[in-house]
Structure 1
């Protein structure tokens, strides 16, 4: 199966073509803004490098969140438009699941905590064991996530995502004697946070695109909290309402 994957959910813009787990064309760049200006060119170049043209694709995968409100909509709109034009199924991929899939776990007993910095003291959070999620994704206060999922002296988790440093800092605040660890293989050590996976790998995105059923994983945005932006209370040029008691 040949798949095109698109990811604009976080601070990277990625387009890649894979066939049966093998990368044929990859374009990715770290960026906090400007996904809409770069994505079309990235898709064009990745497909051209892969050869065979757009008609050789079997399906499209796109990250649906959680993540940046604007970035998500850029990737989703592009993927859905391209899928409609090519009459191809489009698979929605959870950003948290893709992050967890990006981590190589050495032991089957070691879980993966995927955490994305949601700002305002919160993280988007989900835990996994193997290919199975333990619970639905949530938006949690960092301290609450630590209290619910992490216990001192019994770390059996590996961290991925931009929210991991927030969790490590909270752990050092709650249990300073247990964090950070010095061993390089400890999930909360300074070495582990330095090499932290902050964006899903193209390999993980391609594997999930090929594995998931488009019928059960539609390209629908996954928002875990309301957007920060609010609609205007008056139209342009409209006078402000008079103050009460004026």
Structure 2
């Protein structure tokens, strides 16, 4: 199966085409740049160049896109692009969990994928004995440290790893700005598009808030 992956959730802007045959993932064309802003200006060009290296868009069977958790703006850019391209090509689009993709960077039976969510929180998901321990969550650092302490010499993957490291002596840290493209490709081929639609995974409300009045509308009177 030939898949195109798109990742704009965290600190990378990635577009890559891969051939996936079971556990074998072979890159055909890949473009990835470190960035936290500007995905909308770069993504289409990166996808074009990656597809050109792979022989064009015609051979693509499926598209995978990260749906979060991650940057609100980045997620919207990536999903809009993937959905538009999927519609144009008539190909299914698979939504990929950022945390699940990060976790693929380690084969440790006990592991935690952790993203620094700022404001004293991490986005996290945990695996024990190879089994997922519940869904992705937004946790306080203290709660995440408690969950990590329950794991046995775990692998900690992602930007939030350093925030919980003190609660896991002997843990292995896998530093990751974003998910590895080959892991995104494997998940894209492995997951059922019907069961994993490209819908955003928001674990908390956005920092921005809607305005309390329309432009030109007078401010409310302040009681004396």
| TM-score category (smaller protein) | over 0.9
Residues in 2 aligned to 1:82 and 1:132: alpha-carbon distance in whole angstroms: 34
1:16 equivalent to 2:16? Answer yes
| Separation of aligned partners in 1, 2:176 and 2:182 | 13
- Secondary structure at the aligned position of 2:198 is classed as coil
Shift of 1:206: 0.2
Alignment of 1:78-227 (within 5 A): 78-105=81-108, 110-129=109-128, 132-151=131-150, 155-168=152-165, 171=167, 179=169, 186-187=170-171, 192=173, 196-227=175-206
Aligned residues: CA RMSD: 1.6
Listed as ranges, the gaps of 5+ residues in structure 1 are: 172-177, 180-185
* Alpha-carbon distance in 1 for matches of 2:88, 2:197: 17
Which blocks of at least 5 consecutive residues in structure 2 are unaligned?
none
Pick closer, same or farther for the CA change 1:125–1:150 going to 2, 3 Å.
same
User: Larger Rg: 1 or 2?
Assistant: 1
Match of 1:234 among 210, 213, 217: 213
Contact 2:114 2:125 in 1 (8 A): yes
- Residue 132 of structure 1 deviates from its aligned partner by 4.0
1 CA distance for matches of 2:27 and 2:131?
25
| 8 A Cα contact 1:9 1:64, kept in partner | yes
Give the corresponding residue for 2:29: 25
Q: Which segment is superposed worse, 232-241 or 9-18?
A: 232-241
Cα distance, 1:187 vs structure 2: 2.0
Contact 1:160 1:198 in 2 (8 A): no
Distance 1:132 1:167 in 2: 20
Q: Relative to 1, partners in 2 of residues 1:131 and 1:87: Cα closer, same or farther, differing over 3 Å?
A: farther
TM-score (ref. length: structure 2) = 0.93
CA contact (8 A) 1:103 1:197 kept: no
The structure with more helix, counted as a fraction of residues = 1
Query: Comparing both structures, which one devotes a greater share of its residues to strand?
Result: 2
Change (3 A) 1:35 1:130: farther
- Contact 2:148 / 2:164 at 8 angstroms: preserved in 1? no
Q: Which moved more, 1:127-136 or 1:86-95?
A: 127-136
* TM-score normalised according to structure 1 size: 0.85
Q: Give secondary structure in 1 for the equivalent of 2:223.
A: coil
Matched pairs, number: 220
